[in-house]
C-alpha cells in the first residue's frame, strides 16, 4: 500500500485471520496499523496484492457485493465517526436499523449494551455533549451491537480508564467466544499482556508474528 507517489507504507504483508480468532496488531506510531485496518474493512484499495474476505476475492468481487460484505464487519474508528444529529442510543442502533430491524426488536439489546459500557444514563445524549471517552464507548457499542463476523478496532481503549478498558476487552472477549473474529490495533502493552491472544507486529511496513494464538 502506498499513498500517491510516496514510498510503500505496507509491503509483502501476508497473513490469514482464522475464523473465530483473536489477534492484537501492534507497532510504533506510523508503522501502518491504521492503513492495514483500512485495507481489511475496504476503506482503501491496495496498491498491489490481493485481499480475500469471507471467501470473496475483493479484486474480482462485484461492487454491488461490497455493502453486504461490509455489513459483516464491525469497525471501531480512532475518530469515532458518530453521527452528530443522533442520540447515543440511535448511533448504537444504526447498524440494526440499516439491517431492517424494528426498534421494538432491538431496544432492550441496545439499552443493555449502553449500560455495559457505562453509559446507560447518557443514551439520549448527542455526541457533542459527550466526552472523548464516552464517544469512544458509543463507537465501540455501535461496532459490536450486530454481532459482526469480524470486529476491527483501532486503539479502542485509548481514551478510557483502566476499569472501563478492562470491561471493553471483556466485551470483545465475549463476542469472540460467540464466534466473532477480533482484530485490535493497540499500543497498550498491559492490554496485550492481559490476554493470551495472537500478536502481530508491524515493523517498517512488514508484518512479524510475535505470539501464537490463544483466548483473551
pLDDT given at position 212: 63
CATH topology of domain 1-72+150-216: Rossmann fold (3.40.50)
- Prediction pTM value: 0.89
Render pLDDT for 31-68 as a digit per residue (tens, 0 to 9).
899 999 999 999 999 999 999 999 999 989 888 888 88
pLDDT digits (tens, 9 = 90+) for 89-125: 999 999 999 888 999 999 999 999 999 899 999 999 9
Residue spans of the domains in the chain: they are: 1-72+150-216, 84-147
The CB density around residue 128, as the number of other CB atoms within 10 Å, is 9
Give tens-digit pLDDT for 151-166: 999 988 877 787 877 8
Instruction: Output the pLDDT for position 29.
Output: 85
Q: What is the pLDDT of residues 164-200, one digit of tens each?
A: 778 888 888 889 999 999 999 998 887 787 767 889 9
Question: Whole-angstrom Cα distance, residue 120 to residue 110?
Answer: 10
Asked whether 83 and 102 are in contact (CB, 8 A), the reply is: no
DSSP collapsed to 3 states, 51-102: CEECCEECCCCCHHHHHHHHCCEEEECCCCCCCCCCCHHHHHHHHHHHCCCC
Q: What is d(CA 50, CA 59) in angstroms, rounded to the nearest whole number?
A: 7
Tell me what the mean pLDDT of segment 69-86 comes to.
93
Grid cell, residue 63, equals 461492487
Amino acid at each position: 500500500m502506498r499513498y500517491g507517489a510516496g514510498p510503500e507504507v505496507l509491503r509483502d504483508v501476508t497473513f490469514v485471520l482464522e475464523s473465530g480468532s483473536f489477534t492484537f496488531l501492534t507497532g510504533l506510531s506510523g508503522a501502518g496499523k491504521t492503513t492495514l485496518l483500512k485495507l481489511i474493512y475496504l476503506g482503501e484499495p491496495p496498491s498491489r496484492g490481493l485481499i480475500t474476505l469471507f471467501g470473496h476475492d475483493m479484486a474480482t468481487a462485484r461492487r454491488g457485493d461490497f455493502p453486504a460484505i461490509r455489513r459483516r464487519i464491525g469497525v471501531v474508528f480512532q475518530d469515532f465517526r458518530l453521527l452528530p444529529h443522533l442520540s447515543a442510543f440511535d448511533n448504537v442502533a444504526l447498524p440494526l436499523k440499516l439491517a431492517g430491524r424494528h426498534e421494538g426488536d432491538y431496544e432492550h439489546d441496545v439499552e443493555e449494551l449502553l449500560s455495559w459500557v457505562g453509559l446507560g444514563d447518557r443514551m439520549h445524549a448527542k455526541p457533542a455533549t459527550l466526552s472523548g471517552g464516552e464517544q469512544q464507548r458509543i463507537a465501540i457499542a455501535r461496532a459490536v451491537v450486530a454481532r459482526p463476523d469480524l470486529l476491527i478496532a483501532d486503539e479502542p481503549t485509548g481514551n478510557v480508564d483502566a476499569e472501563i478498558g478492562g470491561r471493553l476487552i471483556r466485551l470483545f472477549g465475549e463476542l469472540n467466544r460467540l464466534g466473532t473474529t477480533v482484530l485490535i490495533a493497540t499500543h497498550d502493552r498491559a492490554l496485550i499482556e492481559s490476554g493470551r491472544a495472537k500478536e502481530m507486529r508491524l515493523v517498517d511496513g512488514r508484518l512479524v508474528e510475535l505470539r501464537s494464538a490463544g483466548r483473551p
